[in-house]
Chains A and B, each alone.
Chain A
Amino acid sequence: MASICFYFQVHQPFRLRHYTVFDQTHDYFDEFKNSSICRKVARKCYLPTNRLLLDLIKKHDGKFKISFSITGVLLEQLEKYAPEVLSTFDALAQTGCVEFIGETYYHSLSFLYSKNEFKEQILKHSQMIEKYFGQIPQVFRNTELIYNNELAKTISEMGRFKGVITEGADHILGHRSPNFLYQPPGCGDLKLLLKNYSLSDDIAFRFSNKAWNEYPLMAEKFANWVNKVNGTGYVVNLFMDYETFGEHQWEETGIFDFMRQLPEEVLKHPDNNFMTPTQVAETYEASDVVDVPHVISWADTERDLSAWLGNAMQSNALHDLYKLEKNIKESRDVDILNDWRKMQTSDHFYYMCTKYFADGDVHKYFNPYDSPYDSYINFMNALGNLKHRCKGEVPKKTVHSQIETALKV
């Protein structure tokens, strides 16, 4: 048996506007940029792909299944800028073939800094999903697939989830295959679904790469690769950004045609089917325990945190941000709380990454800033203003002593 489990990550951050040290207003986010990007992605990806998937579900009479993880910050933006997308997601939800996965509402790194904040954001997200789609998430994925034993334990203790999704990193699996189900140590029934990064990346990254020796990738060829899993595993976890369709891989690459053909090709083999993550967790038994003492993620070849925490600026910005938690929450001001939380979205720290900056690769492509330094300066200026607000102070001219306290890490 080979069950294909599709999970698409659907997310857009609230990008900050250009905010200098001289700015004193409380609007930190770039309405114009965020709305235009949201509408552009809706037009190029969300709307056409939702339509395609809905057609496929109807065509295959319930045999084609998928799942989404949609962040709270994107749902807020869709509501504001592209409400028509929400109704197409709702139409998908109504088919019964679509599962919505749980995550932190703000697509944040809160797990690394504050367990309380982490749990609050998971609950807030869960409520949002229930409100829009009438489902309560039963499988969890953490931002950037960040994971370790402790995360599994925290999720297990929350008692809401049947499984956790993370990266099938080679160094945690060793000789084992991601095409089985696993278990974290000491977490009862909690299942671990691991991304088959090789097959996932064939679609998400390599699909349009003409230098790739498998180019062009056709649905039939891909289905054959899936067929080979039969007998050596029972689930193929294909996890990718939803923007793969129409945005990272443009329509001209044939990505939509590929997807249109795929279910039919996969279902030609009688032992293949499609499942959602909860179905996978309920259907299959865990074959082994995977021990992950150190933090992993999906990112880059290192599969570690260095894309968000790799330099002094990133760690300083994150520490300063989470240091405010107590003050923010004591201020009992919803606007302040929401602004603080929107600033937790991992993208802000990804923009500050200096790792591959000079080489101009994928990091640059998603970056609205000219340089990681500009993004850090902008973030810290906005954070400085927020800090004053939650102290109940109107930031006059920034006084030097206040700057000093701001610097203490």
Chain B
Amino acid sequence: MLGWEFPPFISGGLGTACYGLTKAMSKQGINVTFVLPKSVVGQNGSHVKMLSPADVSKTGTSTRAVTDFETLKIATEMERVKILKIASPLTPYQTPQEYKHIQENKHNIDEIIREKRLLLDETWSFDASNLEVSTDYSGDMFKEIHRYAAAAARLALNEQFDVIHAHDWMTYPAGMAVSALTGKPLVVHVHATEFDRSGEHVNQAIYDIERKGMHAADKIIAVSYLTRNIIISRYAVSGDKVEVVYNGVEKNGDAVNPVKQVGIKSDEKIVLFLGRITMQKGPEYFLAAAKKVLEVMENVKFVMAGNGDMMHRIISMAAEMGIGSNVLFTGFLRGEDVRRVYELADLYVMPSVSEPFGIAPLEALNNDVPVLISKQSGVAEVLTHVLKVDFWDINEMANKIIAVLKYPPLQMTLKEHGNFEVRKLRWEDAAQKCEKVYNEVLVGTV
């Protein structure tokens, strides 16, 4: 499995999803080798012990694949998940053993790597004019993707596996390279597309990588029908190649948390936005709705938890609208802080303009917080006991926020049923569906 992030080093839902999925797969007896590309800062996660690059003494002279990757220690819950981290850049020369190995495979790894480089360069030549097009991603990121692809391809020769499962565009080149090298089937998992991230202003280079990955894949897993439709209509992929596998949610101490008593809190109500403060997540719609709510109700605080490229704009927007004192910014929260903010919240709002799935509302429900989500989210396909609204319909968003704050029975019923419903969304089911997809692609190769 090729991924880009894994808890606790996460910036969004992708890492959470990879974690939940691999854990469930491990329980089902599927052996997963998870390849992580980045050098990440050392910190202990709850289930997986990770080592930072500094802890590992690199031999420097050896170029054998094994030492290019760190093998991370895994807790018993994930005993079948092996996490490998590519810690060093690609080395230009191969050892004789490795060369022999490659010959046996009737492939020339250098050739593959060159092809990959060409493929990337075709769409992304590293010249200044192209770099300017995309200010969001540094050129270094593409280099890293490239390096990751090459390293993963080399790694693949030393690993036993049946299927390649690549999560999101950054790992597609790696998936394609490994597939070309080993002949193993490729499954790409689309957690988000460039259209979700950038609206209509897509980064052509990323789009091209996505498109190539999707077309090269034997099967595509989409996180929702919403995403499936985008894949079919925007990437010209045939529908029978795309399966929908919904994400699940980890249960965290649901029974331990007593249900909060409605109405006994201080007179202040809290409406929560939790996510990256970026175009895709619709923070300005949240603000506009907040303004409308505050015209009718006092004592409501709107908490925006998260970071993002639009943060400064949103802060000044709140001030310009005259609601600055009612909108609080917490920055990026993790772990216990997330838990605490959920405990305070009366309502969680996800006004996403485009959300392929959206795990965060599931976590809110898991924490007994009722949820208002945009109809433009994949998770709206699976949740019924939530409030739904078009992201652009500020009036209706405000109407629903007020209703939750004003009518305790509404909050109570949403919580009760929502918490129950969310328990039915299990990673085990997602893992099973992925396994089904694996079996399909394996049949195709035999």
* A interface residue numbers (CB < 8 A to B): 20-22, 311-313, 315-316, 354, 357-358, 370-374, 376-377, 380-381, 397-398, 400, 403, 406-407
Of residues 265 to 295 in B, which have CB atoms within 8 Å of A's CB atoms?
292, 295
* Minimal beta-carbon separation of B387 from chain A (angstroms): 6
Whether the Cβ atoms of A312 and B412 lie closer than 8 Å is yes
Residues of A within 8 A of B403 (CB): 21, 376-377, 380-381
A357's nearest neighbour on chain B, judged by CB, is B384
Which 6 A-B pairs rank lowest in CB-CB distance, beginning with the nearest? Answer: A312-B409, A20-B399, A316-B409, A377-B403, A358-B384, A313-B409
Partner of B413, one of A312, A358, A380: A312
Contact A313 B413 (CB under 8 A): yes
Q: Does B40 contact A (CB under 8 A)?
A: no
Check if B191 is an interface residue, CB within 8 A of chain A. no
Whether A376 contacts B296 by the Cβ 8 Å rule is no
Residues on B with beta carbons closer than 8 Å to the beta carbon of A371: 384-385, 387-388
Is B93 in the interface zone, CB < 8 Å from A?
no
Does A313 contact B410, Cβ atoms closer than 8 Å? yes
Whether B395 and A373, one on each chain, are in contact in the complex, defined by CB atoms closer than 8 angstroms, is no
- B235 CB → nearest A CB, Å: 30
Given contacts A377-B399, A380-B403, A398-B296, contact A370 B410 (CB under 8 A): no
B295 near A407 with CB under 8 A, answer no
Asked if A377 and B408 make an inter-chain contact with CB atoms under 8 angstroms apart, the answer reads no
Shortest Cβ distance from A398 into B: residue: B296
Pairwise interchain contact A377-B410, C-beta atoms closer than 8 A? yes
Q: How large is the interface on B (under 10, 10 to 19, 20 to 34, 35 or more residues)?
A: 20 to 34
Bound complex: CA A311 to CA B263 (Å): 18
**What is the distance, in angstroms, from B269's C-beta to the closest C-beta of chain A?**
10
User: Known interface pairs A358-B384, A358-B421, A407-B407. Does A20 touch B395 (Cβ–Cβ under 8 Å)?
Assistant: yes
Residues of A near B131 (CB, < 8 A) are: none
Q: Scan residues 378-395 of chain B and give those whose CB is less than 8 A from a CB of chain A.
A: 384-388, 395
Residue from B385, B402, B407 with most neighbouring chain A CB atoms (10 Å): B407
Further contacts, 16 of them, CB under 8 A, given A358-B385, A373-B385, A373-B387? A21-B399, A312-B409, A313-B409, A316-B407, A354-B385, A358-B421, A370-B388, A372-B413, A373-B386, A376-B409, A376-B413, A377-B399, A380-B407, A380-B410, A398-B297, A400-B297
- Confirm or deny: B110 has a beta carbon within 8 angstroms of a beta carbon on chain A: no
- Which single residue of chain B is at the shortest CB-CB distance from A19? B399
Interchain Cβ contacts under 8 Å between A and B, 21 examples: A20-B399, A21-B399, A311-B409, A312-B412, A313-B410, A354-B385, A354-B413, A370-B388, A371-B387, A371-B388, A373-B385, A376-B403, A376-B409, A377-B407, A380-B406, A380-B407, A380-B410, A397-B296, A403-B297, A407-B406, A407-B407
Report which residue of B399, B400, B414 has the largest number of chain A beta carbons within 10 angstroms of its beta carbon: B399
Residue of B nearest to A352 (CB): B413
Q: Which residues of B contact A373 (CB under 8 A)?
A: 385-387, 410, 413-414
Chain B residue with Cβ nearest A374: B387
The residues of A that contact B386 with a CB separation of less than 8 Å are 373
Most chain A beta-carbon neighbours within 10 Å: one of B263, B299, B400: B400
List of B residues within 8 angstroms of A377 by Cβ: 399-400, 403, 407, 410
Q: Given A376-B410, A380-B407, does the pair A397, B399 have CB atoms closer than 8 Å? A: no
Distance in Å from the Cβ of B303 to the closest Cβ of chain A?
Answer: 20
Determine the chain A residues whose CB is within 8 A of the CB of B402 once the complex forms: 21
With A20-B399, A21-B399, A370-B388: A354-B417 Cβ-Cβ less than 8 Å: yes
Bound CA span A370–B386, Å: 11
Q: In the complex, what distance in Å separates the CA atom of A6 from the CA atom of B403?
A: 44
- Bound CA–CA A280/B399 (angstroms): 52
Name the B residues within 8 Å of A357 (CB-CB).
384-385
Bound CA–CA A312/B395 (angstroms)? 26
Q: In this assembly, does B208 line the interface, its C-beta being within 8 Å of a C-beta of chain A?
A: no
Chain A nearest CB from B219 CB (Å) reads 29
Residue-wise, chain B 291-329 has the 8 Å CB interface mask toward A (1 for contact) of: 010011111000000000000000000000000000000
A371 to B395 CA separation, bound complex (whole angstroms): 18
In the complex, what residues of B have CB within 8 A of residue A22's CB? 292, 296, 395, 398-399
The CB with the most chain B CB atoms within 10 A, among A371, A377, A380, A397, is that of A377
Residues of B within 8 A of A372 (CB): 413
Q: Which residue of A lies closest to B402 (CB)?
A: A21
> B429 contacts the other chain (Cβ, under 8 Å)?
no
Is there contact, CB below 8 Å, between B409 and A315?
Answer: yes
Q: In the bound complex, how far is the Cα of B296 from the Cα of A400, in angstroms?
A: 8
B165 CB → nearest A CB, Å: 31
Residue among A312, A357, A403 with max Cβ neighbours from chain B (10 Å): A312
Name the A residues within 8 Å of B79 (CB-CB). none
Q: Tell me the smallest distance from the CB of A288 to a CB of chain B, in Å.
A: 41
CB nearest neighbor in A for B417: A354
The distance in angstroms between the C-alpha atoms of A22 and B406, with both chains bound, is: 14
Smallest beta-carbon distance A179→chain B, Å: 40
Q: How far is the CA of A403 from the CA of B300 in the complex (A)?
A: 14
| Distance, CA A398 to CA B412, complexed state (A) | 22
Which residues of the other chain, B, contact A313 by a CB distance below 8 angstroms?
407, 409-410, 413
Report the nearest A residue to B298, measured CB to CB.
A400
Report yes or no: A20 in contact with B296, Cβ–Cβ below 8 A: no
Cα distance A374–B408 when bound, in Å? 15
Is residue B396 within 8 Å, beta carbon to beta carbon, of the partner chain?
A: yes
CA distance A311 to B417 in the complex (A): 10
Interface string of B418-437 (1 = CB under 8 A from A): 00010000000000000000
A380 CB, nearest partner CB in chain B, Å: 6
A377 vs B387: C-alpha distance when bound (angstroms): 10
